[in-house]
Amino acid sequence: MAIYLPELDPAQLWFPPVEQALEQPDGLLAMGGDLSVARLALAYQSGIFPWFSEGDPLLWWSPAIRAVFPPASLKFNRTLRKQWQRSALRLTVNHAFNEVVQGCAAPRNKQPETWILPPMQQAYQQLHQQGYAHSIEVWQADQLVGGLYGIVVGGLFCGESMFNRIPNGAKFALLALQQHLGNYSAGWIDCQIPNPFLQQLGATTIRRADYLSLLQQQAALTSPAGHWQPQVLSLAYD
């Protein structure tokens, strides 16, 4: 059976209502358009994100079931506590955004191909320059060993991707992110599509309507001045 998708005109800034997203594949909403800062900002503010592979058209998604980390859901366990104490790790915000994106886009053992293609990398670099996109970095000495990046909508962090170069590097970035968000908001993190790894860390699932309500609530929050300026983070683990 043929699938009909609305095709977006790059000259017109709009999206179809998310309720029109397909059930199979879950959440596929539209194709085409562009990756401009204005369109990407509108997408995240509407509960939509881009996701496409090499050779595919630009595809936009709003899944019926969303994965999120609720406030205070990310905690140190004994293993993480011991690793943190002995590894001399350092955490920063927005010290190496482009390097984090490149780390997330690099091939992985079980995932040789990437969806973070050069046009996506360039688009998120532009979002970062405009103050929408941010990164958390994990350092060991002067080496970048983990991190994540995503988009902030008020008090909600819409996570895009993360990577490890040491065991648990991304987990430390997530812990730091939720604690950093907690300085001005509840600390919700959107991680888009559920998978076993995220659920093992503490992610839960909510329906699209509940996510949109959460998004609207969190979008009304404003971060304090300088909250996302480049800085070193402390991490509470007691």
Among 47, 63, 79, residue at a domain's last position:
63
Terminal-to-terminal C-alpha distance of the chain: 55
Residue at 190 is within a domain: yes
Hey, what are 202's tokens?
């503490």
The DSSP call for residue 111 is B
Does a cis peptide bond (omega within 30 degrees of 0) precede residue 25? yes
Across the chain, mean pLDDT equals 93
Tell me the pLDDT tens digit for each residue of 82-93: 998 898 899 999
133-140: strand order across its sheet: 204-207, 65-69, 189-190, 156-164, 143-153, 133-140, 89-93, 231-233
Q: How many domains does one find in the chain?
A: 2
Count CB atoms within 10 A of the CB of residue 136.
29
Tell me the pLDDT tens digit for each residue of 140-180: 999 999 999 999 999 999 999 999 999 999 999 999 999 99
* Same domain for 80 and 19: no
The angle, 0 to 180 degrees and rounded to 10, between the axes of the packed helices 118-129 and 97-105 is 160
Range of the domain at 185: 68-233
* Same domain for 87 and 187: yes
The answer on pLDDT for 211 being more than 70 is yes
* Same domain for 204 and 133: yes
Residue at 238 is within a domain: no
* Same domain for 203 and 122: yes
* Same domain for 164 and 104: yes
Nearest to 191, CA basis, from 152, 156, 163, 159: 159
Hey, what are 45's tokens?
């503010």
The answer on pLDDT for 112 being more than 60 is no
Residue type at position 132: Y
* Same domain for 201 and 145: yes
The answer on pLDDT for 1 being more than 60 is no
* Same domain for 73 and 59: no
* Same domain for 229 and 151: yes
Quick check: helix, strand or coil at residue 225? coil
What is the reported pLDDT for 182? 95
**Domain with 50 in it: what CATH number?**
3.30.70.3550
Question: What does the chain come to in residues?
Answer: 238
Tell me the pLDDT tens digit for each residue of 220-238: 999 999 999 999 999 887 6
Residue at 1 is within a domain: no
